[in-house]
Each structure stands twice: as structure tokens, then as C-alpha cells.
Amino acid sequence: MSEPVAVPVPQINPNDEHAVVARWHIEKGDRVRTGQTLVTLETTKTTFDVDAPQDGFAFFEHEPNAELAVGAPVVWIAATADPFEIPSHLSRSLDTSRPAPDERFTRKALKLMKQHGLAAADFPGEGRIDADAVETAVAGRSPQPTPAFTDAEPLELAPSKITEIQTLSRVYEQVVPSTVAVALMCERMEQRARRLEAEHGPVSFLEICIYEAARLLPHWPEFNAFYAAGSAWKHRSVAIGFAVNLGKGLRVPVVRDTARLSLLDVARTVRDLSLRYMRDGLTIDDLTGGTFTVTDLSAEGVVHFVPVLNDRQSAILGLTAERSGARARDLVLTFDHRLSDGMRAARFLAALRDRLEGAEG
């Protein structure tokens, strides 16, 4: 081994073009053995380890939180411990056939900008700029000026938060969000839950909600859908994700093919995913492909909130805590108004409430 060998950032998820350095397991110049973990990287969906492909001495230049393009070298393994210059022309990306990673503008947006004499500097901030954004700018609604806050200093955000911001910003550039809520009578719901428990064994409120929502969604395609490329799309199956944030970051594991599962299967899957969340054992497959989301803040005593839509989804169901003395709790639905309306959303929630209260089924 004469030349140092580059270890590139692997492609973990086809939609991720970047990964963020989460943690180094080695020091620069360390002697490493084949298979030894070098670095933990993080994408929008998961974290993963990069192992040494061969024995040698490891060198790197990126600090934690650095964002690297997929294919770019993250570590170099050399034959000797002598420090060496990491070739600068190679440090960005090994794969030149991919589009430049920092393309902030769609081609259509660039074309419009050229026509209207706009430059990249006219569009500060994060998120992809598309034709609509350019047209908005052209129409006179001036783009946001670059902030220069003299009485504030930058707030450090976790890398995962930064990628989340990018994703959510992208979603919310397009989506027309709306939220409705209906009240659920706790007594009836608890009676029903007891009946189910008698039949199936212990099941949680979250699990029953996932199960019942999955029963309804095939009949309410607009809430198991998304809007993209100028038209509406409905998912071919139901895959309900549930938000968990138990000290290991916000994650949304997905229960696959939910509409075909029995209550017991739903409960088993939710528990398995929760357990693996706690053990850092969730895989990229567990975290992708959700078509609808349930988020439960009842344990925090939250009696009302507005859930935030996920990418490629048109609705998210929020579960709240009981209002003191009211013996009722809210079912909240945030949905994309381009695909539905408040009346439809209210009826969907009412149907869900009826099922949870045992008025149906």
C-alpha cells in the first residue's frame, strides 16, 4: 500500500445526498484495524458507522457537524503514520457524474431568474428555490433580506435539527396546512379499550389509534396522499409512522402495511420499533416510506397542539391529554388543504372518534 486510500461517505438512503459527521471514534493518525469503527455519520433518517476497509493509519480533516457529500472521502488510510497532505481536489467528491450537491435552484428556477435578471444572491436562506419562488419574487413580493441581527447571536442547532429544518422548509414551501380537532369522550373510549384488552391483551391508546386510523385511511385517500410535480398522488398502501422522542432524538418509525395488520400485530410492531429506538437499532427501512403519521403528546400533558406535516404526506394525527375535569381529549388533524378541506377532515376525525368510542365496528 503506497498511496493513502480514501474511504468515501456511503450512500445509505437514495434520497440523501449528504451526511453529517456525528462522532469520531478515532484520533487523527491512529493505527486502525480492518472492520474497526472510524466515524458515525448521520443522515436525515438514521445514523450509521463507517468501518475501516483495511489496516493502516487513519487521517481526516472534518470535524463533527461537518456536512459531506455522498461519495466524498471522509477518512484516508495510509500505510505509515507520517502525516500527509489530503489532496484538496479530491476532498469534495469522488463522483463527478452526480449533479453538484449545492444546487439550490431548480433548472426551471434558474431559467426564470435569467429571464428576469435575478441572481442567486436575491434568494437568501435555506431550502430549494423552485419556479414558484422565483415567480413570487418577480411579482414584487421581495425576497427576505439577509438578516443582520445586532442584538442576537447564532443559536447552535444539532445537525439533525438542521437537516430537519431543510426538509420541513421544503415541505412547507408548498403545503397549505390546516388543522381541525374533535373531542373524544374518554369514558366510552376506555370502555372500548377494556373490551379490546379483554379480547387481545394489553394495548395502548396509541396502538389502538394507529390500528383504527389504518382501517379508515383506505376510504379517505386524500389523507394518505401527497402533492408533487403539479399533481396529487395517493399512496398505494397505508404505512403509519409514529413519532417518538424519548431522549434519543425525534424519530418516526413506520408500521408497514398497517391496514392489513390485526390490532395485536400493530401493537407488537409498535413495541418492537420502540424497543429498537431505545437500543439505537432502527434501520433506514424502519424510518422511511411512511404515508401517514400519528404523534402522541398525551404523556406530556399537552391538551392542544398543531402537528407538523411530514414530507410526502398529506395528514398527521395528534393525540392529546385529557383536559382536567372534562373527561374528554382532542383528536387533532393537520392536513394539506390542497388535497382536502376542513369539512372532510372533520368527518374523518368524527369517523375515527366513533371507532375509538366503539360506536362502530
Mutual orientation of helices 263-278 and 186-200 as an angle, nearest 10°? Answer: 90
Measured in degrees and rounded to the nearest 5, phi and psi for residue 293 equal -130, 145
- Using CB under 8 A, which of 36, 37, 65, 106 touches other proteins? 106
Residue placing its CB nearer to other proteins in the complex, 224 or 334: 224
Residue placing its CB nearer to other proteins in the complex, 296 or 336: 336
Q: Does residue 108 interact with other proteins by CB under 8 A?
A: yes
Q: Does residue 324 interact with other proteins by CB under 8 A?
A: no
Place of cell 424502519: 286
- Cα 173 from Cα 105, distance rounded (Å): 14
DSSP state letters, 199-217: HHS---HHHHHHHHHHHHG
Place of cell 384488552: 197
The least CB distance from residue 5 to other proteins, in Å, is 18
C-alpha cell at 143: 425576497
Residue span binding other proteins (CB under 8 A) among the ranges 21-29, 61-69, 109-117, 203-211: 109-117
- Cα 250 from Cα 244, distance rounded (Å): 6
Residue placing its CB nearer to other proteins in the complex, 96 or 144: 96
Residue placing its CB nearer to other proteins in the complex, 72 or 112: 112
The number of residues that bind other proteins (CB under 8 A) is 15
DSSP state of 147: P
Beta bridge partners of 75: 7
- Using CB under 8 A, which of 14, 99, 202, 247 touches other proteins? 99
- Residue ranges in 218-237 that form contacts with other proteins under rule CB under 8 A: 228-231, 233
What x-and-dash track marks residues 125-144 binding other proteins by CB under 8 A? -----xx-------------
The least CB distance from residue 129 to other proteins, in Å, is 10
The residue among 289, 214, 239 whose CA lies nearest residue 45 is 289
Query: What residues line the site for other proteins (CB under 8 A)?
Result: 97, 99, 106-111, 130-131, 228-231, 233
